[in-house]
């Protein structure tokens, strides 16, 4: 195995204007697109998976989209699976960063939850290819990715668990330990279903329903509905 | 005989899928697991995909029959929800491989499988929807509420299946019932109703 971090710098195989991904076609946020080969390969995979599905994607599709040679592909990744995992991790890191930022900007927890959910829906709606990659194709990409997918969803639990702080003993007694897990699962199932059905344009309109659904156990439905409808 | 063979093949597909993931399973794996000839497989199913859809149909029918039978007998809505969830959890514990195949693998098995998966949630969606009639704010509840509750219940069960904690599933009953009732009744009444309903079920002779 070669150490990908310790490679001699290669001269570009294509003139920069050809090697660059045309903006807009690949569905990646601009910050993902760079001259860096590894990132170009990741973007190339996202584009190929959007067109052909995970199973139908070949290394030839990826290298064509990324405008690099097959050899370069294998200098960065051992297999298609490995490249997919890198792409998945990149998308999830981006999504996590946006959610965290939005969540952190609000003083109050209910508003923070609303901001976090909004950031997630906006990202997925703006990037339908990445939404599909992370929420649909991830499920068919083998056990390693599925394990990461499960972990990514479970990593949302603490955002909701923070709502337990400051609640009265009586309310806390009514919250079972699996509340947050169930809320996260319910939220993700609504989101994934729209993505499966290629209805990403509906995602943002889920915001009030998701906010009300996730806040109700903590605030009661009247208060939860008030926060939800203020969005 | 033919039915027996089909069920055996279905069980083999479920076993293989839950061990290595549906995408990786081959007809050869299913055939060797079921201990049948390759020809026998193709006498019953056109392809692996066809076999998967039959597996889903088989498990869904069995689970739904139980849920409907259990929930239909009772008068009180909260009791019906609890009875329906009990029947569902019992099925999952009895048939963990089939349950895993239908709840987890279905999402990676193509559009027809996803469509069936969504249909499998409908029995619960209708059952939960009845809660709008007994809820003090039934008219204002979000349209997607039932879909979200079912998604949450399935996710919790799926997580236990994914890590092989089948034995922990029956104990989830009171919390899942409470989770399903809360949006309709409020947290406190939901907890009481869930405790009462699971208590009633436990004290029922033969339950």
Residue of B nearest to A189 (CA): B151
For residue A93, count CB atoms less than 10 angstroms from its CB and return exposed for 0-12, middle for 13-18, buried for 19 or more: exposed
**Rounded Cα gap, residues B34 and A75, in angstroms:** 42
User: Mean of the pLDDT values across residues B63-72?
Assistant: 90
Cβ within 8 Å of residue A2, ≥6 positions away? A75
User: Mean of the pLDDT values across residues B158-162?
Assistant: 86
Grade residue B162 by pLDDT with cuts at 50, 70 and 90.
confident
For residue B132, count CB atoms less than 10 angstroms from its CB and return exposed for 0-12, middle for 13-18, buried for 19 or more: middle
User: Mean of the pLDDT values across residues B171-184?
Assistant: 93
Name residues 34-73 of chain B within 8 A of A (Cβ): none
CATH superfamily of B48-203: Tetracycline Repressor, domain 2 (1.10.357.10)
Which of B173, B171, B162 shows the shortest CA–CA distance to B196?
B173
Name residues 145-164 of chain B within 8 A of A (Cβ): 145, 147-156, 158-159, 162
Tokens of A105: 């900007």
The total number of residues written for chain A in this structure = 231
Buried b (16+ CB within 10 A) or exposed e, B158-196: bbbbeeeebeebeebbbbbbbbbbbbbbbbeebbebbee
Which of B16, B13, B84, B90 shows the shortest CA–CA distance to B49?
B13
Per-residue pLDDT of chain A (231 residues; tens, 9 = 90+): 333 334 443 433 433 333 444 444 555 554 454 458 898 999 999 999 988 988 899 999 999 999 999 999 999 999 999 999 999 999 999 999 999 999 999 999 999 999 999 999 999 999 998 999 999 888 877 778 888 998 999 999 999 999 999 899 888 887 888 999 999 999 999 999 899 888 999 999 999 999 999 999 999 989 999 999 985
Among the partner residues B20, B140, B187, nearest to A171 by beta-carbon distance: B187
Name residues 169-188 of chain B within 8 A of A (Cβ): 172, 174-176, 178-179, 182-183, 186-188
Task: Give the tens place of pLDDT for each residue, B86-124.
Answer: 999 999 999 999 998 888 788 777 778 877 887 888 888
Please calculate the CA angle A98-A200-A197 and round it to the nearest 5 degrees: 135
pLDDT of residue B200: 67
The reported pTM is 0.83
Among the partner residues A146, A190, A216, nearest to B151 by beta-carbon distance: A190
For residue A75, count CB atoms less than 10 angstroms from its CB and return exposed for 0-12, middle for 13-18, buried for 19 or more: middle
Task: Give the tens place of pLDDT for each residue, B123-157.
Answer: 889 899 999 999 998 889 999 999 999 999 999 99
**Rounded Cα gap, residues A64 and B79, in angstroms:** 59
- What number is the ipTM of this complex? 0.83
pLDDT of residue B205: 46
Q: A29 in contact with B at a CB cutoff of 8 Å?
A: no
Please tell me what DSSP assigns to residue B65.
H
Contact list in A for residue B100 (CB cut-off 8 A) is none
Torsion from C-alpha of B169, B173, B174, B178, nearest 10 degrees = 110
pLDDT of residue B1: 57
**Rounded Cα gap, residues B132 and B113, in angstroms:** 30
Cβ within 8 Å of residue A81, ≥6 positions away? A141, A142, A144, A145
DSSP codes of every residue in B124-188: HHHHHHTHHHHSTTGGGS-TTHHHHHHHHHHHHHHHHHHTT-GGGSGGGHHHHHHHHHHHHH-HH
Name residues 169-198 of chain A within 8 A of B (Cβ): 170-171, 173-179, 181-190, 192-193, 196
DSSP codes of every residue in chain A: ---GGGPPPPPPSS-HHHHSPPTTTS---GGG--S-HHHHHHHHHHHHHHHHHHHH--HHHHHHHHT--HHHHHHH-SSHHHHHHHHHHHHHHHHHHHHHHHHHT-SSHHHHHHHHHHHHHHHHHH-HHHHHHHHTGGGGS-HHHHHHHHHHHHTTHHHHHGGGTT--HHHHHTS-TTHHHHHHHHHHHHHHHHHHTT-GGGGGGGHHHHHHHHHHHHH-HHHHHHHHHT-
Buried b (16+ CB within 10 A) or exposed e, A150-179: bebbeebeebbbebeeeeeeebeebbbebb
Q: A81 in contact with B at a CB cutoff of 8 Å?
A: no
Contact A116, A215 (CB under 8 A): no
CA distances to A22, A42, B4, B9, B91 from A25, in Å:
6, 14, 52, 45, 47
Contact B77, B131 (CB under 8 A): yes
Among the partner residues B107, B144, B182, nearest to A206 by beta-carbon distance: B144
With tokens 């996260």, the residue in question is A184
């Amino acid at each position: 195995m070669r150490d990908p971090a310790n490679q001699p710098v290669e001269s570009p195989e294509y003139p920069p204007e050809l090697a660059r991904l045309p903006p807009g076609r690949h569905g990646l946020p601009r910050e993902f697109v760079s001259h860096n080969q590894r990132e170009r390969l990741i973007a190339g995979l996202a584009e190929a998976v959007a067109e052909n599905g995970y199973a139908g994607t070949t290394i030839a599709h990826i290298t064509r989209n990324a405008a690099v040679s097959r050899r370069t592909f294998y200098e960065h990744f051992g297999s298609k699976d490995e490249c997919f995992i890198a792409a998945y991790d990149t998308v999830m890191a981006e999504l996590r960063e946006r959610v965290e930022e939005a969540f952190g900007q609000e003083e109050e927890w209910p508003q923070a939850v609303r901001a976090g959910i909004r950031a997630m829906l906006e990202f997925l709606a703006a990037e339908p290819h990445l939404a599909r990659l992370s929420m649909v194709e991830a499920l068919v990409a083998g056990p390693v990715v599925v394990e990461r997918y499960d972990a990514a969803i479970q990593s949302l639990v603490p955002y909701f668990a923070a709502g337990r702080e400051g609640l009265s003993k009586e309310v806390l007694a009514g919250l079972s330990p699996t509340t947050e897990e169930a809320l996260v699962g319910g939220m993700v199932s609504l989101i994934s279903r729209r993505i499966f059905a290629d209805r990403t344009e509906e995602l943002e309109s889920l915001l009030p329903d998701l906010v009300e659904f996730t806040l109700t156990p903590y605030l009661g439905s009247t208060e939860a509905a008030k926060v939800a409808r203020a969005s | 005989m033919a039915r027996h063979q089909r069920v055996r093949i279905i069980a083999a597909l479920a076993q293989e899928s839950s061990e290595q993931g549906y995408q990786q399973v081959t007809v050869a794996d299913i055939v060797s697991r079921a201990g049948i000839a390759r020809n026998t497989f193709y006498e019953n199913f056109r392809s692996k995909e066809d076999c998967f859809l039959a597996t889903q149909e088989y498990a869904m029918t069995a689970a739904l029959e139980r849920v409907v039978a259990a929930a239909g007998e009772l008068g009180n809505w909260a009791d019906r929800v609890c009875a329906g969830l009990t029947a569902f959890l019992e099925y999952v514990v009895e048939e963990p491989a089939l349950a895993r195949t239908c709840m987890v693998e279905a999402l990676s098995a193509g559009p027809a499988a996803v469509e069936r998966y969504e249909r499998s949630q409908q029995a619960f969606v209708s059952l939960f929807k009845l809660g709008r009639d007994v809820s003090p704010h039934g008219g204002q509840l979000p349209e997607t509420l039932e879909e979200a509750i079912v998604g949450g219940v399935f996710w919790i069960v799926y997580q236990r299946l994914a890590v092989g904690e089948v034995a922990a599933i029956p104990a989830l009953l009171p919390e899942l019932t409470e989770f399903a009732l809360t949006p309709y009744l409020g947290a406190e009444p939901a907890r009481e109703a869930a405790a009462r309903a699971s208590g009633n079920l436990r004290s029922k002779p033969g339950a």
